[in-house]
Amino acid sequence: MASEISVEDQVLVETVRKNGIGILRNLLSPEEIKAVRKEFDQAHLDLGKGPGTPGVRDSMSGEALLAYPNMAALYSHPRIMNIISTMLSEPTPWVWVVKTNRYTPEHIGVQKHTDGFLGELAPPFTRQAMAVFLDDVDEESGALTYVPGTHLMHFNDNPNRLPPTQEDIDAGDYIPATPKAGDVVFRVPEVWHAVIPIRRMRR
């Protein structure tokens, strides 16, 4: 059950609802980041991903990740869950998938896309993604880029709306988001986004 949300976090929720992206800064302390990184790297070794291959994105998902207590705590972190609960207007949101992503440089990045369904519209604000960053990103390496407000174009709350095309997505005016290690990015799945080329490890 969600608890009362702080003023700071309510402002974040409003930002995410408006822009499709919002960043919660400094959720993790340097000591917590170090502990999660250690488990993250060990999980990738234990689960057969190795130390990382240049140019490859390694993804892992599922219950095996919950065996690592510092990582597992992030998937149900009370502050994160409270923000998501408020975002979705859902007292007890459920987790669809827990996963990790590791991009080993040099990596080409991720092309412009939406996590909505091309050619379809969806009910507004029924899904919410979040990512805890374990490494800094910036406009020279690994920044998440997005087009503010484009998630709204994928919602079925307007009977005259047509779903965006890939051509629309490719032509968007993208801006960078630059989270640091220990920050959390909240992203409405439908917002148009991409990742610039990655020149340092991005976890």
- Amino acid type, 134: L
State CA 113 to chain mean position distance. 14
pLDDT at 195 over 80: yes
Q: Which amino acid is at 150?
A: T
Spatial contact of 155 and 169, defined as CB atoms under 8 Å apart: no
Question: Can you point out the beta strands (E) in 90-143?
Answer: 99-103, 110-113, 129-132
What average pLDDT does range 54-77 have in this prediction?
97
In this prediction, residues 137-166 reach a mean pLDDT of 97
For residues 194 and 114, the answer to whether their CB atoms sit within 8 Å is no
pLDDT in tens, 116-146: 999 999 999 999 999 999 999 999 999 999 9
The proportion of the chain whose per-residue pLDDT surpasses 70, expressed as a percent, equals: 99
CA 187 from chain centre, in angstroms, equals: 5
**Residue pair 92/1 in contact by the 8 Å Cβ criterion:** yes
Under the banding of pLDDT at 50, 70 and 90, the label for residue 2 is low
The candidate with the shortest Cα–Cα distance to 32, out of 59, 71, 68, 79, is 71
- Mean of pLDDT values over 160-165: 97
Asked whether the predicted pLDDT for residue 3 surpasses 90, the reply is no
